[in-house]
Amino acid sequence: MQTRTDQITAHDGSFDVRVWLPDSGSGPGILLVQEIYGVGPYIEKVAADLASRGYVVAAPDLFWRLRPHWVGEHTPEGTQAALELAQGFDLAQGVADCALTVSHLGSLPEVRGGVGAVGFCLGGSVGYMLATQLDLAAVLSFYGSAVPDAIGLMERIQAPLLLVFGGSDPYIPRESVAAVEKAAEGRANVVMHVEEEAGHAFHNSESPMFHQPEPAARAWEVATTFLDRHLPSR
């Protein structure tokens, strides 16, 4: 597996995008959208997993306007610092940066077979919003806190969409998840997956505060099966 850092120019500057290439050298593209901890060990681990499955993965540095290359620690103090930094994040600009990254991915000679998106927490919200603007091959949104307040936009999403939530998430109340489930009813392109006993960020294997191995494994199996169906790498 090879990795490199590409650079993308936006209207107000430029930002880095970490790229992972599969051993085959080419494959479908996946935009991987970070949590509030930045493009750190957890995102790197997810990227390596996806690349091992045959995908070309690109993770943009969404906090480049605030603190370029910032990586938060998975501790109570690090989480508080990440939350404070994220308060200055402009969601619309982040979505625009991700749109530029999708365009960059699509132009790479290593990418064949379409481009999808996978996002966690903050990235789950960004990925969902991006899907209202771009026609992607597949979109996987894990516990995006902005999703319940934006269910009215779901009708704009044409891509296959997987929405993953924890049913015991203190940051996203179960009744809010239920509202998303209701909005998804009857939409052939939308799949809901709720791990009822799981809290927030339960897939984050780098965070002792949040990680729940069994729900994480089940949800990731659902996610990779979804990708295999809608954005096959082989």
For residue 160, what is the domain's CATH number?
Answer: 3.40.50.1820
Output the pLDDT for position 37: 97
Sign of CA dihedral 185, 191, 194, 200: negative
Output the pLDDT for position 200: 96
How far apart CA 173 and CA 180 sit, in angstroms, is 11
Domain count for the chain: 1
Q: What is the CA radius of gyration of the chain?
A: 16
How far apart CA 77 and CA 141 sit, in angstroms, is 26
**pLDDT values of the chain reduced to their tens digit, one per residue, 234 residues:** 899 999 999 999 999 999 999 999 999 999 999 999 999 999 999 999 999 999 999 999 999 999 999 999 999 999 999 999 999 999 999 999 999 999 999 999 999 999 999 999 999 999 999 999 999 999 999 999 999 999 999 999 999 999 999 999 999 999 999 999 999 999 999 999 999 999 999 999 999 999 999 999 999 999 999 999 999 998
179: Cβ–Cβ under 8 A, 6 or more apart, which residues?
Answer: 148, 151
pTM of the model: 0.97
Q: How many CB atoms lie within 10 A of CB 6?
A: 15
DSSP 38: B
Phi first, then psi: give them for residue 86, nearest 5 degrees: -65, -20
The answer to whether residues 15 and 7 touch, using CB atoms and an 8 Å cutoff, is: yes
The answer to whether residues 102 and 115 touch, using CB atoms and an 8 Å cutoff, is: yes
The answer to whether residues 141 and 164 touch, using CB atoms and an 8 Å cutoff, is: yes
Helix ranges (H only) for the chain are 41-52, 76-86, 91-107, 122-131, 174-184, 213-230
Domain extent for 102: 2-230
How far apart CA 226 and CA 215 sit, in angstroms, is 16
Output the pLDDT for position 148: 98
Among candidate residues 76, 103, 119, the one with its CA nearest the CA of residue 208: 76
The answer to whether residues 37 and 82 touch, using CB atoms and an 8 Å cutoff, is: yes
Q: Letter for the amino acid at 107?
A: S
The answer to whether residues 137 and 198 touch, using CB atoms and an 8 Å cutoff, is: no
Output the pLDDT for position 234: 82
